[in-house]
Amino acid sequence: MSFDRSIKIAPSILSADFANFGQEIRAIEDQGADWV
């Protein structure tokens, strides 16, 4: 059995500006986040 040990980037949405949530999500995806 093999495991994928590569590093994943998953920023927290708790620190997002919820008034501009869509823009915040696009910004972290554009920066290469693996998971939101």
| Per-residue pLDDT, 2 | 77
pLDDT of residue 4: 77
Residue 3: predicted pLDDT: 79
Owner of token pair 């920066």: 31
| C-alpha separations of 2 from 5, 9, 36 in Å | 9, 21, 25
Number of domains into which the chain is organized? 1
Q: Mean pLDDT of successive 10-residue segments in the chain (36 residues)?
A: 83 92 93 90
Range of the domain at 26: 1-35
**Of 13, 6, 8, 7, which Cα lies nearest the Cα of 28?**
13
Nearest to 6 by CA among 26, 35, 31: 35
